Structure 1
Amino acid sequence: MQTAPSPEQTPALARAGTADELIERARALAPALKERAEETQALRRPPEATRLDVRRTGIHRLFQPARFGGADAPFRAAVDVMRPLGQACGSSAWAIVQNISHNSMMCRWPVQAQEDVWADNPAALLSGILIPNLGRARRVEGGYVLSGRWPFVSGVSLAEWAIFTAFTPGPDGEEEDRHFLVPQSDYQILDTWYSIGLKGSASHDVVLDEVFIPEHRTTTVDTMREREARYPGEPVNLRAPLYCMFGVYIGGTALGIAEGAVNTYLEQARSRISRASGKAVSDFPTQQVKIAEALSCIEAARLLIYGACDRMTEILESGRLPNDEERARCRAEATFAGQLATRAVNVVWDAAGGGAIYERNPLSRYFCDMSAANRHITQNWDVSAISYGRTALGLPLDNPTL
């Protein structure tokens, strides 16, 4: 069993800083993550130095409320942070995007729960998994008792807290999708993460067995949807449809991985000589076509991801909430951006020839990482496209989390 180390008192900043400062810190951190990429893969988790760097820089605190020292950042900032991290090390980025997104979710918990996590440890790292049919909870005096086993809990080996979802009988007897906030001491991490991609993301299984969760550390899926502003000037990230935006942050991470792959291929192709002909690979028109296709896919993915951020910002800042079609469109465009990013990686992978298959070639890591990232539920094009297509045709939205 792996356990998260105790939080340090010195590296964490009382105030994380502004969004622009966090973006710059992410860019500055990227070279170190790239240098540690092989070590991260071998450990099957980000090394301790990376965990300390995340806490020190506060890059995971983008959406943490300002009252706890967070940045209350705009949506675009998450993409700006995740792109350089994904370019450097897909596994580390995959763990960090969980920290960012679950911090964002914490904003919807009761204030007492937020105090539990952040009052004494404002740089706390959070992980979680949002598959309710893998857990069961029953109501008891003062809260709930939760049991279950959840896979794919990315970054859990680094986290001090995790969020789990489970079905439980609701007030009217119907099944209720409820979210639970659990300290690391109350769950068991199983060493299960042996994967072909994102090898160092520590996406292990987690088990809870009859764990008591006090009432204030639970909330329902309904609170994760968009809500009206509670005071003038409230940051839009506190009002956003969180499951919808989660797909945007994952898509931004996939975009970073793709950018890293294409940049790596360009560096190699510019100096590569064909063994068969002895000519420069860059002189082959087929190579030129492929790199043009990959770069165009990357640019289109960027436009889609940032467009989704800007559109959601515009809607919320106008004083209204996004309708069903707008939420479904946001998820679908983020997913399609991920599809374009995957296409870019596949194009340069095919163009790279036999030398790409060696583990020593970083292009093989990007290829495997993208293959794994593309299996995330937010990157499932069929699921996202059906929701968007239904709402565009005037049919009811089929995804209860959106």
Structure 2
Amino acid sequence: MSQAVLDGVRDLLPGLRERADEAERLRVVPEASIKELEETGFFKLLQPKRFDGFESDPIDFYTAVRDIAGACGSTGWVSSVVGVHPWQVALFSDEAQQAVWGEDTNTRLSSSYAPTGKATVAEGGYQLSGKWSFSSGCDHCSWVLLGGLVFNADGQVVDFKTFMVPRDNYTIVDVWHMVGLAGTGSNDIIVDDVFIPEAFTLSMGETGQCRGPGQEQNPSDLYKLPFHSIFTGTITTPIIGLAMGAYAEHVEMQKARSRAAYLGEKASLDPFAAVRIARASSEIDAAWALLVNNIREEQHYVSRGEKIPLRTRLKVRRDQVLGSQRAIDAIDGLFEASGGRALATGTYLQRAWRDAHAGRVHAANDPERALQMFGAHEFGHKVDPGMY
């Protein structure tokens, strides 16, 4: 079924590209695009089979995201971060899973994982309050996953959890006015003293150990992979897709371009132009190949019932942050070499340049932290595996 979904997504790409300007104008992905993606089954790629999902290979999911972003960066970004959430919901208690999908298996969730909320221990659960930013695609969702620190009665932090909150219990504040990823509708979420039952929470400490109560109902190897590998890949993949889309447009533009400053010489005959696209394509291919190879390596350990080595998990993050950088470097080089026409409103290149740099500032793309941890581990220093 995954191939059918991929084929369906590819059929949508011309339409998604045509709506890219509309997404920027609306500041959210058009409802028509979300509906079309839903009809292909895209949002169920990582969803458990018992809720009409496909439990697909993560690489199939990433491939679909890459292709979508190659048509429209904002749609690719929202598709990625909304489409990955069924993977985490599968780790929650069965009660929580039933609440989300029991009546409608098309239910979608957005998120904001930074622990900017505060939860206090209460009987049977927690009282949650706070404000969260950057919840991409929240207007298309009826639940949200929020990060929060848990405090006991003495005011001490005792856990870092993900809280699953239904739409009636939070407010969306429209604040998204941005120059990049402008169509993602990454608005603020506010929760005001709402009770969250224990069953609707997931400890990030447990998640970091590749465990969750939902594995009892969803025993697939898919749900035994590390959270921080799967989720950070959802941030890099749209950027790689943007680079692929920028590359394709740059090559077509250069084929048709004559440069007046060089007596009408065709740009495609410039040997330096050929070198530039060779370098850019290599960087893009390297970013994608490493992402795929690293997930495959983790799957190998899981399929054998073995614990994934910490070094492998750190390598995933090393190559993920560098993969984002490789893709952005490729876009920068292509944009700089494309001439003034690339600046025109409506071109994919200028939008990809803006969108990729917007994606670069996401916390998952903080290179120094990920690289420092990999290097520290290589030197034999202790690294907290819960973060990877």
Cα distance change of structure 1 residues 82 and 306 upon mapping to structure 2, 3 Å threshold: same
Instruction: Name the structure 2 match of 1:189.
Output: 172
Letter in 2 for 1:63: L
- What letter corresponds to residue 273 of structure 1 in structure 2? S
Q: Are 1:213 and 2:196 matched, yes or no?
A: yes
Q: 1:268 aligns with which of 236, 253, 257?
A: 253
**Residue number in structure 2 paired with 1:153:** 135
C-alpha deviations, 1:108-148, integer Å up to 9, x for none?
1100000000011101111101111x110112233211111
8 Å contact 1:41–1:200 — kept in the other structure?
yes
- Aligned ranges for residues 252-263 of structure 1 at < 5 Å? 252-263=237-248
Report the secondary structure of 2:67's partner residue: helix
Match of 1:60 in 2: 43
* C-alpha distance in 1 between matches for 2:337 and 2:153: 58
Correspondence for 2:301 = 315
Q: Going by fraction, where is helix more abundant, 1 or 2?
A: 2
Letter in structure 2 aligned against 1:236: D
Q: CA deviation at 1:365?
A: 0.3
Q: TM-score, normalised by structure 1?
A: 0.91
Partner-residue secondary structure (3-state), 1:88: coil
Tell me, what secondary structure is at the counterpart of 1:131? strand
Q: 1:244 aligns with which of 220, 226, 229?
A: 229
Name the structure 1 match of 2:117.
135
Q: What amino acid maps onto 2:255 in structure 1?
A: R
Normalised by the size of structure 2, how large is the TM-score? 0.94
Distance 1:54 1:204 in 2: 21
Which ranges in structure 1 are unaligned for 5 or more consecutive residues?
1-17
Cα distance, 1:112–1:231 mapped onto 2, change above 3 Å = closer
Q: Which runs of 5+ in 2 are unaligned?
A: none
User: What is the RMSD of the two structures over their aligned residues, measured on CA atoms?
Assistant: 2.0
Q: What SS class does the counterpart of residue 73 from structure 1 fall into? A: coil
Indicate conservation of the 8 Å contact 1:301/1:336, yes or no. Answer: yes
Using the aligned pairs only, state the percent identity. Answer: 29
Residue-by-residue CA offset, 1:142-167 (whole Å, 9 max, x unaligned): 32111111111111111111100110
Greater CA drift, 261-270 or 380-389: 380-389
Identify the residue that residue 126 of structure 2 maps to in structure 1.
Answer: 144
- Judging changes above 3 Å, is the alpha-carbon distance between structure 1 residues 233 and 163 closer, same or farther for their aligned structure 2 residues? closer
Query: Do the aligned partners of 1:108 and 1:223 also contact (CA within 8 Å) in 2?
Result: no
Q: Distance in 2 between matches of 1:189 and 1:174?
A: 27
Q: Is 2:149 the counterpart of 1:164?
A: no
Equivalent residue, structure 1, for 2:341: 355
The 1:209/1:174 distance shift into structure 2, 3 A limit, reads: closer
| C-alpha distance in structure 2 between counterparts of 1:24 and 1:321, whole Å | 34
- Of residues 44, 51, 54, the one that matches 2:27 is 44
Offset at 1:86? 0.9
AA partner of residue 381 (structure 2): L
The equivalent of 1:90 in structure 2 is 73
Q: Provide the rounded CA distance (Å) in 2 between the counterparts of 1:175 and 1:129.
A: 20
CA offset digits 1:343-384 (Å, max 9, x no partner): 110110110122222223221001001111111122221121
In structure 2, the CA distance between the partners of 1:317 and 1:90, relative to structure 1 (3 Å rule), is same
Change (3 A) 1:58 1:267: same
How much has 1:169 moved relative to structure 2? 2.4
Does the residue aligned with 1:71 lie in a helix, a strand or coil? Answer: coil
- Does the aligned pair in 1 maintain the 2:129–2:190 contact within 8 Å? yes
- Give the residue type in structure 2 aligned to 1:177: F
| Cα distance in 2, alignment partners of residues 48 and 258 from structure 1 | 25
